[in-house]
Chain A
Amino acid sequence: KQEVTQIPAALSVPEGENLVLNCSFTDSAIYNLQWFRQDPGKGLTSLLLIQSSQREQTSGRLNASLDKSSGRSTLYIAASQPGDSATYLCAVSGAGSYQLTFGKGTKLSVIP
């Protein structure tokens, strides 16, 4: 059974800092990995999707990497802003399955 772990559970940084969020998964047989953002009481916003054959994806200040063999992904946020404050969720899609398995998320607070 796939398990997804995100470390740290919470992170507080001053505005302007670069930061890294970590995600690990136990079964490397994945189809893709996604990073989402969730604001309090809201749904999910997809940030980046990395196919299993890819190593990284970039969107603006965000860069996500994937090391499938070691079961790890990182989300790098450059020059953090208070508006980046949210919970960031990592989810993997299993090969041959519709199911997305989510981590519990990392709650990010960017202090002005």
Chain B
Amino acid sequence: GAVVSQHPSRVICKSGTSVKIECRSLDFQATTMFWYRQFPKQSLMLMATSNEGSKATYEQGVEKDKFLINHASLTLSTLTVTSAHPEDSSFYICSASLAGGLGETQYFGPGTRLLVL
């Protein structure tokens, strides 16, 4: 149980285009979903926390107008990278929390590798 999927697994796009990444909890309802970004040889950095039906909370330094997060249902959250540029190329990983409680275990998706040309 507690499986999280992401789609697509890899995407290559031209600079200036927008890319949508989906994160789904397959066998449980996720009150809270998290989006992380990982640059090569760096640790995962939390970008934003999203709760179903409400606006996402962004970490300092993450542009909310550039990284649009929608958490429309208890099993789906989407991250849209708007007007992507080469510096947005990274590995994006989502996670989902079962009950949304503080310190709850997060279950991670397999990640999406984004390459912006």
Q: Which residues on A are within 8 Å of B, measured CB to CB?
A: 4, 31-32, 34, 36, 41-46, 49, 89, 91, 93, 95-100, 102-105
Known A42-B111, A44-B93: A99·B46 in contact at CB below 8 Å: yes
By beta carbon, the residue of chain A nearest B100 is A98
**Interface contact A43-B109, CB-CB below 8 Å:** yes
Q: Which residues on B are within 8 Å of A, measured CB to CB?
A: 6, 32, 34, 41-46, 49, 91, 93, 95, 97, 102-111, 113
Q: How far is the CA of A98 from the CA of B70 in the complex (A)?
A: 18
B residues near A49, Cβ cutoff 8 Å:
105
**Interface contact A96-B102, CB-CB below 8 Å:** yes
A residues near B42, Cβ cutoff 8 Å:
104
By beta carbon, the residue of chain B nearest A94 is B103
Q: How far is the CA of A89 from the CA of B109 in the complex (A)?
A: 15
A104 to B: closest C-beta gap in Å: 5
